[in-house]
Structure formats: structure tokens, C-alpha cells
Chains A and B, each alone.
Chain A
Amino acid sequence: DIQMTQSPSSLPASLGDRVTITCRASQDIGNYLRWFQQKPGKSPRLMIYGATNLANGVPSRFSGSRSGSDYSLTINSLESEDMAIYYCLQHNEYPYTFGAGTKLELK
């Protein structure tokens, strides 16, 4: 199975900060990488697909990038509504695998 190593597990940040969350894939997954945001008691929301493409309705302060087997989600100018848990997902092959999640919280 492909392992997705997500870091950090917790990320304290201040409003207006620029933050980056990273997932490293244990095997080649091409650009078959998605990022999700989940708030307490809510269903996950797709933020980024194809490693770098913004999903519909997602603010432009969110962006995705890839460097080799490292995939990153960056949020520029953090807003209070961005506080949530973020997960990456590889869907290059079955079984699909998620990262363990990053809890983004106010410092």
C-alpha cells in the first residue's frame, strides 16, 4: 500500500500567517493527490485536486504544489475560517490512502 506521511500533525498559527502542510508519498503517485478540509462535525470538503488545481469555490489564498514525492498545501494570509483539519489523499492506486491529518489552530 502507498503510505502518505503528512506533517506536521499540529500547526499553531496566527491570523494573516502563511502556512504549509506537506504529504510525502512512499511511491510514485503522479499528480493523483487531493487535499481536504474538515471542520468539527462536518463532512470533508475538497480543496485541491490533481495536486495543484483549486476546487470550485475555494478561496485563491489556497494553493497546492508538488516537488518530487512531496506534495504541499499552502494557505496565504490565514483567516479564522481556515482553522480545521486538513488531509491529503492519494488516488493513484487502490487502496486509496489518506494522510493522518494536520490540525491547524490559532496560536
Chain B
Amino acid sequence: AQKVTQAQTEISVVEKEDVTLDCVYETRDTTYYLFWYKQPPSGELVFLIRRNSFDEQNEISGRYSWNFQKSTSSFNFTITASQVVDSAVYFCALSVGANSKLTFGKGITLSVRP
């Protein structure tokens, strides 16, 4: 069975601070995919990134960056110079092998104050 743990439940920062959202996953499979989704106050789920288990390269997209470390089973998400519009719930998720059911973490509520 697979599991995703987002130990942080709520984070509050002041605008322009950097913030890292942690994600730890568990699976015995060697082929899997990791995801981050954003849920702004409007409620929709917005796809941010997908990473497969064979690609440990970190990725940067504007102010967003992701650090994938198989040695610690972690897939952490950093927002640099946070903005009020980054306020949302962020979910980390895992799918394993040919089974495309996503297992979600419980989410992290990020509040960015002006």
C-alpha cells in the first residue's frame, strides 16, 4: 500500500518570504509518479507538477521549485518570494505503476500575508 504524508498542516508567512512544503511518500514499487496540486480559495484543483521515479532532477518553474530525493522518499516544494496569490491548500500525491489511482496527502494550508 502507498501513503503520502504532509506533516505540516498550516503555514503562515509574510509576503516575499520563501516557504517549503514537505512531502514524504511510501511505496514498495520502483515505478511511481509524484504530483503536486494547488487548491486556491475558489476550490478548483490545479495541477502543478508530475515527476516520475526515474527522474530525480530538481525542477524550477519561475518562483516554484521541487526537490525530489529518493533516498529520503521526499518530494518537497519550495515557493520563492511568496505572494498573496500563493495562498491555497497544496496537495502532494502519489500513483504507483500501471495503477493510476492517486493517493493524496492531507494537504497543507498556506497563508501568505501582505
Is this pair of chains taken from one and the same complex? no
Chain A contacts to B: CB under 8 angstroms: none
B→A interface (CB under 8 Å) = none
